Structure 1
Amino acid sequence: MRRRRRGQRRMYLRNIDFAAWIKAYRTLFMNTIGNALLERPATGAPWFAYVEAHTWTSVDNQWANYRGIQETISVTNALGTTTTIQIKATPSAQFGSMWTSTTLFGSFENDMCAMTGNESLVRESGNFSVRPTRMRSKFIHDQVGWLGNFDLKFIPPPQSLLRLSMPSAVVCQLQSNSAFASTFAPLGTLLLTPPQWNDPTMAFYGGSLMCKSGVAQPYVQPSFGFDDSCSSQRPYTQVWDGLSQVFAFTALDGNRSGANAACSLCLAYQINGCLQMARIANQASSQLLIPPDAMRWIADVPRAPTPYIDSQPMVQADDPFTVFGWTAMYEWALGQREAVSFAGDFQTLRLLSYRYDPTVIYANALDVQQSLASYLVGFATSVSSGLALVAAVVILVRVIMPPGRIGSNWFVLNRVASTSWMGRPLLVVRGVCVVLCLATCPVRLYLDLRETFDAGIHESLGRGLWLTSVFNDLFFHVTNAYTRAYAPGSSLLAWIVCRHFRSLVKMDTQLLCTSGSLEIGSVRRLLLICTVQVASVVVSAVGVASIATLKPAKSFPCFRVLPWRS
């Protein structure tokens, strides 16, 4: 009753910016409401003043199968920059007959547009018009609430259901046991009828409050759906697969008699297949433990010849339909169904939709900017190719003109050849590129049986020491006499410390997926790797210099990379 009293004080024109709204809808408003109010100055003018004094600028949107949706995921790299990738896009469009929720919660614009031929929405006006409703619309109006005055609220799955919806033990079995995985092929679509409606004398008008034109049928029909255009009346069906059944029988604590009773609700030719699938799922459910849940799913199914709205609890003790109810709960947790509260003036129905087929939407590759990565890869490739060419020339010269002395300087080829032939700027770019790779966990998706997993691709830690070589060259003018002694030690120290970081903080655990945000790199790790390399150079140089002060100073000979005959 409180909701009915609230409905008498309609929120139209109070929950909006009236000044901006009236500019767009003045003609419609005056034809359907305004002119009738102006005919009664005693009541119309005070109403207008009240509306203008209480204009609000915001209102909560209700659930409707009209609006489009755009879903994105943000990817943060090691430099801290964020890229937004669109993973789902449903543009807003005029749905026409597909906009079935408008009959329950229609916008004020629809009410005005429905008035054609100089008709008015004001009941006291002389040109007020109303059209007769169908029989089904009448008993929805009488038993649930006035049409056009419903509150449709989206109901998210409870956290307890989300935590239990993916049994990790079964997923591990699917990965490790191929025979076990082969038994989890989908059984198919089952046609079933809840026990309380298994009566040949009953007729069913439909399971969706949004569909008003249905005629009596001898079979139960599905609940509402976002994409239901109410153009056909289909029988109620349910899809069974391995994981959903394991979840259902685990929730039932392995009740074998419940499985037999549930399969008896199917058509005769599907009972044997249902029992076989139930037996396999019942065996697998012994690996899990799910406490009972008080959640209920309600489907709207009226009867004939005296129409009224009846409901089927999805989870109820001693009801064979509970097996299928838990299966539907599992699909709700996975996003294959959605729950909506239909609040009318007389009662509130919390309904679960029918199962939605997945829609394949491909991400736009242009959303990922790759220009910086392309430049870095180009620089790193040019340095590696140049060093490989220098090494090939050295080998060729060594073969053609063998050195006159015994020994070689291959261990210092990278340090000397890279500085002489490549230059320090390119070495810095290559070092930064490698450090970025070490501070990033590349994502590689692959399919293993039924589930998709992600894995990190590990980079060679030795390649990340190019910055150490550059730092050693920069310190060469200060530590000339000790460079040869501390440079290898600094590289070894940096490698050991970074190796410790790699084993302490694994890269594949740095993927943080929170509310559509994916962090594939760590700025902290990037700075840490660079700090370790600088600190290794400084510590090694200071250590060697301290040791050298205790001994007589001596100069170290220089070695030639390209030998020649004297």
Structure 2
Amino acid sequence: MWWPDFNASGTQTFLGDVVNLRLAWASSSMTFDLFSSGNGWVKDYSSASAAMALSYVYPRVLLMQSTSNLEDVIRGIHATTLALNMRMLTQYCWADFDKRFELAHTEYRQQRCLDQDADNAAVHLESLLRNVVWSDMVSTYGSTDGIFDVAIGAGVSEFPHGPAWLQSVHDAFVDVATEATYWRAKGAVRWQLPWQNAWQPGVDETITIQNALGMQQKLALKKIPYQHRGPAWTSMLLYYGFWNDISYAYSGGRSLVRNTTTHSPDEMQYRAYAGGGNGPVAHLTRNVLGPYGSIDAKVVPAPASLVTAFAEFSTAFAVALHADSTLVSFVTESTDVVINPVPMSWASPSLAFYGGSLLCVQGNPVDYVQESFGFDDACLAQNELAVTLSATNLAFALIGAQGMASLCSGGVACQEVLSTAQILYNHLGAQPTLASLFQAAAADVIDVCLVQYAANITSGNLLFLTQSLVTNLDDPWNAVGWVYLFDWLVQNREVVLFQGDVDSVTIISKAYATRSFAPSALEIPQSAGRYVHYLNLYISGMLAVATSFILFHAIQPKGGMMGRNFFHFNRVAGSTWVGRIFLFIRGMTAVIFLSTSCVSFTNQSALTQLAWNHMPVCNTAEEIVE
């Protein structure tokens, strides 16, 4: 790369941290100045063990968010086996793009599909059928009277245009561009898969660095492996997968296609197959959201107003640290603390709590508020609701809550981190632009909440409790809510919209652990630079030897040297003692040195950033002379 002092644990890890933060909330391509004081990072990169902290949420968002890049989706389908394509966990709404053959489990969900997913190609089975090798379908799911035929084909064939449509999807794929055009012509202009925790998506991401010569080098940014979760798949309560759907229908000789002779009008069968039992959590979920087996879960991206507020905060925060080194000391010396917050409306001795996740239905009543749902929650423990406070996320929260925070009930560690955050807030909170951005963002996140399944001990009534993260009231909880929003933006948490036949709710998850990733030093090419370095040392050494002989001869009494001849030294001695090829390499090295910017990886009072450096005049003159 010809980047002096570039290494894996230092510069590459720093670049990864900066870029990963922006990728966490960037919805499209973006540009930013790496050398801006707003891109400083409070972290020690001097250790060989320095590593990036990767979020497992990131690959899930990549895979499950709505996208209009249909070409990429189609290429993905063709790069995946039929078995895995059938396990996309899509809860289909229609068999065809023209919406003639309905597949939703319930009448209410069918209407919900029409209202909210009519343009989503993923909920149309045709998007898959057109892009698989039909002989693979036949060998896996049978032909006439096989699994697919009983569950889908026979029902579709009862309609006037059904047989023709079935024939049309057999090996229909021509090329990616033609297929994408067909989808869009049918009104399927986007693609979104449901949120699920059957498997953790993997991602292998790189960044490309280009130097002044136009040479490019790819360096690892993320490496998160795919992981099948097996029995830890708790979201199967929401929907248990299309492969199970057609197998279940086949076993009973029923069709999944609505309004056909073999379709069962009894929607209870799907609820029973989804499971959930009859406990308090399942009972409340069915009454408040709708039946299991027919609940849609969708990843919710952070609204643009919140992203803008966070970006402005991040820049202002880094600039403030750059301007005042004492603030850096406050941040580095503060210690994160875990608190167990409880909304005021939930703080009642008459309440018993079963849990905060609709995916965990076996909870026992306890006297403390419990964690929200989580991708990695296997429902093996009832953990108390917890939030980690740091100086950074608390400063962010104080701006959102306009300086009001009652988070610490006597804890010394909590008071210390709150005091540090208050100092940071005093430097940032007075900025009118920042305050107005936070106010605008608050209105766009009003629906994001926590939930809790509870019971009134006195009356015995079951309760579905909700608490918005941010309210319009002067509620001390708002500061906690803004900490949650900060965690969402840095992908320590995720937000999912759960849509049922009765109602919908947007819930923020519990906090997730990160994955440590240390880039490999072997990825950074160094041999070419080392060869050029040694070659230039050899060239300089040979010229030094020649110079020594000439000077020795010149000082002799009968040397007879003319001073002006020394100006021809490089041309004569270089071609004679070194060689023209080596001189060319030396000259090109000087050209590269002069045409390359001086970039330094600086650390001032624990604040790390990239900086431009002016090349010393003596160095420039030296290279020009050579």
TM-score past 0.5 threshold: yes
The residue type equivalent to 1:309 in the other structure is F
The residue type equivalent to 1:20 in the other structure is V
- Residue pair 1:73, 1:86 contacting (<8 A) in 2 also: yes
Aligned equivalents of 1:414 and 1:306: distance in 2? Answer: 96
Partner of 1:484: none
Paired residue for 1:95, among 224, 229, 248? 229
Single out whichever of 101-110 and 359-368 deviates more from structure 2. Answer: 101-110
Partner of 1:17: 129
- Residue pair 1:175, 1:448 contacting (<8 A) in 2 also: no
Partner of 1:452: 608
The residue type equivalent to 2:312 in the other structure is L
Distance 1:179 1:44, change over 3 A: closer
Cα distance, 1:18 vs. partner? 4.4
Matched, 1:192 2:341: yes
Single out whichever of 230-239 and 117-126 deviates more from structure 2. Answer: 117-126
Matched, 1:425 2:540: no
Partner of 1:252: 401
Cα distance, 1:237 vs. partner? 0.8
Q: CA-to-partner distance for each residue in 1:383-426, whole Å, 9 max, x for gaps? A: 22322333344455556778467968766654553343223322
The residue type equivalent to 2:451 in the other structure is D
The residue type equivalent to 2:334 in the other structure is A
Distance 1:42 1:156, change over 3 A: closer
Paired residue for 2:532, among 354, 376, 388? 376
**Structure 1 gaps, min length 5:** 470-490, 492-566
Distance 1:118 1:367, change over 3 A: same
Cα distance, 1:199 vs. partner? 1.4
1:165-244 equivalence runs, <5 A: 165-166=313-314, 168=316, 172-173=320-321, 176-178=324-326, 181-182=329-330, 184-244=333-393
**Structure 2 gaps, min length 5:** 1-106, 173-178, 184-190, 257-261
The residue type equivalent to 1:384 in the other structure is S
Partner of 2:209: 75
The residue type equivalent to 1:358 in the other structure is T
- Residue pair 2:338, 2:386 contacting (<8 A) in 1 also: yes
Cα distance, 1:155 vs. partner? 0.7
- Residue pair 1:70, 1:88 contacting (<8 A) in 2 also: yes
Cα distance, 1:378 vs. partner? 3.9
The residue type equivalent to 1:299 in the other structure is L
Distance 1:350 1:398, change over 3 A: farther
Cα distance, 1:220 vs. partner? 1.6
1:393-404 equivalence runs, <5 A: 393-397=549-553, 403=559
Distance 1:443 1:360, change over 3 A: farther
Aligned equivalents of 1:40 and 1:338: distance in 2? Answer: 39
Percent sequence identity is: 24
SS at match of 2:468: coil
- Residue pair 1:71, 1:88 contacting (<8 A) in 2 also: yes
SS at match of 1:303: strand
The residue type equivalent to 1:302 in the other structure is Y
Cα distance, 1:121 vs. partner? 6.0
Aligned equivalents of 2:383 and 2:569: distance in 1? Answer: 76
- Residue pair 1:221, 1:235 contacting (<8 A) in 2 also: yes
The residue type equivalent to 1:300 in the other structure is V
Root mean square deviation, CA, Å: 4.1
Partner of 2:149: 34
Q: CA-to-partner distance for each residue in 1:83-112, whole Å, 9 max, x for gaps? A: 222221222232213444444355412434
Partner of 2:418: 278
SS at match of 2:351: coil
Aligned equivalents of 2:348 and 2:594: distance in 1? Answer: 67
- Residue pair 2:328, 2:607 contacting (<8 A) in 1 also: no
Q: CA-to-partner distance for each residue in 1:470-527, whole Å, 9 max, x for gaps? A: xxxxxxxxxxxxxxxxxxxxx9xxxxxxxxxxxxxxxxxxxxxxxxxxxxxxxxxxxx
Aligned equivalents of 2:581 and 2:543: distance in 1? Answer: 15
- Residue pair 1:300, 1:309 contacting (<8 A) in 2 also: yes
Q: Matched residue pairs, number?
A: 460
Distance 1:274 1:94, change over 3 A: closer
The residue type equivalent to 2:464 in the other structure is I
The residue type equivalent to 2:390 in the other structure is D
Cα distance, 1:324 vs. partner? 1.3
Aligned equivalents of 2:513 and 2:151: distance in 1? Answer: 48
Matched, 1:86 2:232: no
SS at match of 2:539: helix
Q: CA-to-partner distance for each residue in 1:452-471, whole Å, 9 max, x for gaps? A: 312356656666679977xx
Paired residue for 2:192, among 43, 48, 60? 60
| TM-score normalised according to structure 1 size | 0.68
Cα distance, 1:73 vs. partner? 1.0
Matched, 1:5 2:111: yes
- Residue pair 1:74, 1:85 contacting (<8 A) in 2 also: yes
Paired residue for 2:469, among 307, 314, 317? 314
Partner of 1:323: 479
Matched, 1:263 2:408: yes
Matched, 1:156 2:262: no
Cα distance, 1:374 vs. partner? 4.2
Aligned equivalents of 1:37 and 1:406: distance in 2? Answer: 99
Single out whichever of 79-88 and 23-32 deviates more from structure 2. Answer: 23-32
Aligned equivalents of 1:375 and 1:401: distance in 2? Answer: 42
Aligned equivalents of 1:324 and 1:24: distance in 2? Answer: 52
Distance 1:285 1:11, change over 3 A: closer
Aligned equivalents of 1:391 and 1:307: distance in 2? Answer: 95
Cα distance, 1:120 vs. partner? 5.6
Aligned equivalents of 2:596 and 2:239: distance in 1? Answer: 49
Aligned equivalents of 1:336 and 1:42: distance in 2? Answer: 48
Aligned equivalents of 1:111 and 1:444: distance in 2? Answer: 58
Aligned equivalents of 1:157 and 1:397: distance in 2? Answer: 79
- Residue pair 1:157, 1:332 contacting (<8 A) in 2 also: no
- Residue pair 2:150, 2:254 contacting (<8 A) in 1 also: no
Distance 1:133 1:173, change over 3 A: closer
Aligned equivalents of 2:223 and 2:328: distance in 1? Answer: 37
SS at match of 2:158: helix
- Residue pair 1:31, 1:118 contacting (<8 A) in 2 also: no
SS at match of 1:283: helix
Matched, 1:350 2:506: yes
SS at match of 2:220: strand
Distance 1:160 1:7, change over 3 A: closer
SS at match of 2:355: coil
- Residue pair 2:553, 2:559 contacting (<8 A) in 1 also: no
